[in-house]
Amino acid sequence: MISGLTWLAFKTWLKKAWAWCKKNWKLFVGAAIPIAIMIITRRSADISKILERITGDYEKEIEAIEKAREKEITSREEAQKRYFDSLKEIEAEYDKRKEDLAESKRKEIEKILKEHDGDPDEITRRLALITGFEIYTHTND
């Protein structure tokens, strides 16, 4: 027969165990579901096949991540190449237009100098209009 002191110790242990079970109920449910499935289906699960499938899925996922990374790197490099090519084209077009503008201004300045050969004030005024610079002439009057 169980003595009173032993019974109290056992009863206290049961209360502590019940409190721990209430706190960690998810652990029991998580363990009970696979056991219930195994009982219902009445066949033993081959753990090695499950592990192989999990490993295969993991490797496929890693491979997909690597492919996506390589694709991103390739697209980034292509975008960078397009950027630098476009920049070169823009700079070349700018240089061409700058040269064309400089040549046309030079011809216009030569024309003004020929037309107003004896009138420095008119030459100064026209050059200021063309270039946008304010030009002051010093006269010795």
Higher pLDDT, 4 or 57: 57
CA distance 26 to 17: 15
In a domain, 116, yes or no: yes
Cβ contact 130:115 at 8 Å: no
Residue 46: helix, strand or coil by DSSP? coil
In a domain, 138, yes or no: no
Percentage with pLDDT > 90 across the chain: 9
In a domain, 95, yes or no: yes
Cβ contact 113:124 at 8 Å: no
In a domain, 136, yes or no: no
In a domain, 137, yes or no: no
Both tokens of 56, joined, read 């295969």
Residue 137: helix, strand or coil by DSSP? coil
In a domain, 49, yes or no: yes
In a domain, 11, yes or no: no
Mean pLDDT throughout 126-134?
71
Number of domains into which the chain is organized: 1
pLDDT of residue 135: 58
Task: Indicate the range of 67-76, 83-92, 132-141 predicted with least confidence.
Answer: 132-141
User: Domain span at residue 122?
Assistant: 21-131
In a domain, 140, yes or no: no
Contacts of 121 (CB under 8 A, 6+ apart): 137
Residue type, 127: L
Higher pLDDT, 111 or 16: 16
Q: Could you report the per-residue pLDDT of 8-44, keeping only the tens digit for each?
A: 888 888 899 888 888 888 888 888 888 887 777 776 5
- pLDDT range class, residue 67, cuts 50, 70, 90: very high
